[in-house]
Amino acid sequence: MKDTRPIANYLTAHRQKRGFSAAELAQRVGIRRQTIYAIESGSYVPNTTVALRLARTLEVHVEDLFALPLDAPAAPLATEQVTLLPDGNASLSQPDTPRAGDPMQLCRVDRRTIASSPSPVPWYLPTADAVLVEAPARTGQAAKGKVQLFHGDYNLAKRVLVAGCDPGISVLARHVLRAGVELVVAQRNSTQALALLKQGVVHVAGTHLRDEASGESNLPAIHRLFGRNRVAVVSLAVWEEGLVLAPGNPKSIHSVADLARRDVGIVNREPGAGSRLLLDTHLDRLGIAGGNVHGYDRLARGHLQAAWQVRTGDADCCIATRAVARVFGLDFIPLASARYDLAVRRQHLDLPPVAALLDTLNRAGFRRELEGLGGYDTSIAGRRLM
């Protein structure tokens, strides 16, 4: 019987060990950079000639790059005993208790490894390069303005402007920084992000818009807006979206139908957000008008902002991702899986910072960290869809 399981490949590790970018390796082997991405993501198995050229260029054996599923080594992640930093709410009557699965940052203090649980809410002044001194009239479109610079030594050529609403973009930003590239992230919902890409004012737009007619994620919306040959689409991850609830689900909310109850209040997302579309789709199927849902017109701009209102008790429920629910210690009832993709104008694909971003999607370290947050499936990360 033919073995149809995917072949394990370790091309990314050996390429990075030799210090090659995907573009450089592709040039040396005589193939396209996109082919390297496809091989590393597992969506393309190279023929014998390409495999031999890769092995020769990287100075390894072919079997060091590719292995049958049974030959793939099982390398469990390391564990370590740490000292948990005392909770910042210890003076409160009900301080937060660390839970298995909580994200942790590590630091060595003298001879101890200290683990600190980072806040999902940024309690600090925002990173800034300048302040606005002349503001234009609000038009909803890109407009001219004037800023006063704090410094004069910005290397803007190594920055990539990304519009999107996935909280996991912060993980991508940390890993891209290792390649000397800085992501500037504009918090926008999927529809707004694609509109900014259409205007030509961002490099990358993140989107999770599901087409109800076909069941396909993102591509139908992108085709309608751009046509078929103006942008490239690369997958970031598949995530779960659903009902995010207070710990223990005190209101006994079990489905979208319960949101029409008088004792339940929600916080919604703005029009154009993928989470808003998901909620509207379920309400339409149930024949429930938005006006019959308490809090339907109360908006939060982003998954984290919505979940925070549930965490503080200002709302009983919102639609967000499993990863966000896990970070805040909230309950979660799944409604749908969605693919989060990155859309890039084709003329920007060869920009070194954009190439570094796309290259990072194939790195095992990035994938492990994003999956560790819970609710992310990165098996398709880096896969070119169009």
Provide the pLDDT confidence category of residue 72 given band limits of 50, 70 and 90. Answer: very low
pLDDT of residue 334: 94
pLDDT of residue 123: 66
**CA–CA distance, 117 with 105 (Å, rounded to integer):** 6
**CA–CA distance, 345 with 232 (Å, rounded to integer):** 6
More confident of the two residues 317 and 209: 317
The least confident of 12-16, 55-59, 107-111, 314-318 is 107-111
**CA–CA distance, 116 with 105 (Å, rounded to integer):** 5
Predicted confidence (pLDDT) at residue 26 exceeds the cutoff of 60:
yes
**269-276 average pLDDT score:** 92
Pairing of strands 159-164, 204-207: parallel
Mean pLDDT rounded to a whole number for the chain: 85
More confident of the two residues 287 and 3: 287
Predicted confidence (pLDDT) at residue 327 exceeds the cutoff of 80:
yes
The two three-digit tokens of residue 326, written as one number? 């896990």
Predicted confidence (pLDDT) at residue 332 exceeds the cutoff of 90:
yes
- The answer to whether the beta carbons of residues 310 and 206 sit under 8 Å apart is no
The two three-digit tokens of residue 143, written as one number? 């407009």
What does the DSSP assignment read for 255-313?
A: SGGGGGSTT--B-EEPTT-HHHHHHHHHHHHHT--GGGSTTTT-EESSHHHHHHHHHTT
Predicted confidence (pLDDT) at residue 244 exceeds the cutoff of 90:
yes
pLDDT of residue 41: 77
CA angle 126, 127, 129 (to 5 degrees): 125
Dihedral (CA of 307, 89, 93, 81) sign? positive
**CA–CA distance, 222 with 231 (Å, rounded to integer):** 8
What does the DSSP assignment read for 100-154?
A: TT---EEEEETTEEEEE---SS--SPPP-SEEEEEPPPP-SS----EEEES-S--
pLDDT of residue 175: 93
**244-264 average pLDDT score:** 96
pLDDT of residue 235: 93
**77-101 average pLDDT score:** 66
The two three-digit tokens of residue 79, written as one number? 């564990």
pLDDT of residue 284: 95
**313-329 average pLDDT score:** 93
Predicted confidence (pLDDT) at residue 375 exceeds the cutoff of 80:
no
The least confident of 12-16, 123-127, 200-204, 303-307 is 123-127
